[in-house]
């Protein structure tokens, strides 16, 4: 007889509790910390890992643009910052919609607009944090980009994307606990 795992249980009732919740603390190079208070059950199916993979790819696009503009064309890092972020942004939208969240809805325009609004905030956060790191610390260029990007991704972008691409959280149901083995 196989014992039910906590990871396969759901609790229904008022108030509903998520057994799959956990706390992740990401410490940035500059000593900043971002807290994630809870991830719903659907994030345990690989969505977070796929999104993180897309994030790595998009960050690679961003870093490539940044490096080429700064090293290849002599553009100041503060000026090269925004075009590099936009290149990463395009890769992030396409990768998250179609690969990470496996969203095949036709709501491309609505999702694109929502994603754009969220990422405008992320862009401002990334630009501001990057600017602070390269202007007021001795943080190396690429390390500053990685720290800023990771802090904004885990603390701001992903939690909102899962609502844009993942739909609404499941409705609360009254009743007893149930587990599957």
pTM of the predicted protein model: 0.56
Least confident of 2-16, 84-98, 102-116, 152-166: 2-16
How large is the average pLDDT for residues 106-124? Answer: 91
- More confident: 16 or 125: 125
Please list, residue by residue across 98-131, b when 16 or more beta carbons sit within 10 angstroms of its beta carbon and e when fewer do.
Answer: eebbebeeeeeeebeebbeebbeebbebbbebbe
DSSP β-ladder status, 9-10 and 24-27: unpaired
Residue with token string 């396409």: 94
**Helix (H/G/I), strand (E/B), else coil: 24:** strand
Mean pLDDT computed over every residue of the chain: 74
Q: State the Cα–Cα distance between residues 67 and 61, nearest whole angstrom.
A: 10
pLDDT at 154 over 90: no
pLDDT at 128 over 60: yes
- More confident: 35 or 169: 169
Residue with token string 């196989």: 2
Model confidence over 160-178: pLDDT tens digits? 988 899 754 444 444 454 5
* Percent of the chain clearing pLDDT 90 (strictly above): 42
Distances (CA, A) of 59 to 77, 120, 124: 16, 16, 16
């Amino acid at each position: 007889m196989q014992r039910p795992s906590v990871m396969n249980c759901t609790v229904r009732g008022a108030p509903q509790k998520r057994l799959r919740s956990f706390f992740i603390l990401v410490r940035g190079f500059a000593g900043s910390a971002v807290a994630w208070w809870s991830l719903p059950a659907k994030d345990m199916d690989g969505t977070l890992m796929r999104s993180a993979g897309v994030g790595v790819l998009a960050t690679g696009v961003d870093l490539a643009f940044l490096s080429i503009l700064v090293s290849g064309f002599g553009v100041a890092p503060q000026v090269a910052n925004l075009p590099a972020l936009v290149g990463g942004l395009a890769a992030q939208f396409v990768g998250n919609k179609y690969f990470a969240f496996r969203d095949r809805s036709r709501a491309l325009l609505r999702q694109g607009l929502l994603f754009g609004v969220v990422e405008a905030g992320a862009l401002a956060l990334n630009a501001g944090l990057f600017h602070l790191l390269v202007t007021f610390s001795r943080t190396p260029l690429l390390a500053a980009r990685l720290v800023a990007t990771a802090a904004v991704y885990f603390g701001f972008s992903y939690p909102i994307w899962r609502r844009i691409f993942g739909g609404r959280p499941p409705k609360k149901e009254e009743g007893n606990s149930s587990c599957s083995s």
